[in-house]
Amino acid sequence: MPELPDLEVIREYLSPRLTGVGIASVEVRRPLVVRNLLGGEVADHLVSRRFASVNRRGKFLLLELESGTTLVINPMLAGRIRYGEPLPRPRARDALVLGLSDGHELRYFDSVDMGKVYLARDLDQVPAFAGQGPEATEPTLTLEAFRERLRPHRGEVKGVLTNQSFVAGIGVVPNAQCLRR
In total, how many domains does the chain have? 2
Query: Regarding predicted confidence, which is higher, 48 or 178?
Result: 48
Q: Say whether both 42 and 114 belong to one domain.
A: yes
Name the residue range of residue 74's domain: 4-125
Q: Say whether both 70 and 106 belong to one domain.
A: yes
pLDDT band at 172 (very low <50, low <70, confident <90, very high): low
Q: Say whether both 169 and 96 belong to one domain.
A: no
Largest CA-CA distance found in the chain, in angstroms, rounded: 54
Q: 43 burial class (0-12, 13-18, 19+ CB within 10 angstroms)?
A: middle
- Identify the weakest region by mean pLDDT among 39-53, 82-96, 139-153, 155-169: 155-169
Is 133 inside any structural domain?
Answer: no
Q: Say whether both 164 and 99 belong to one domain.
A: no
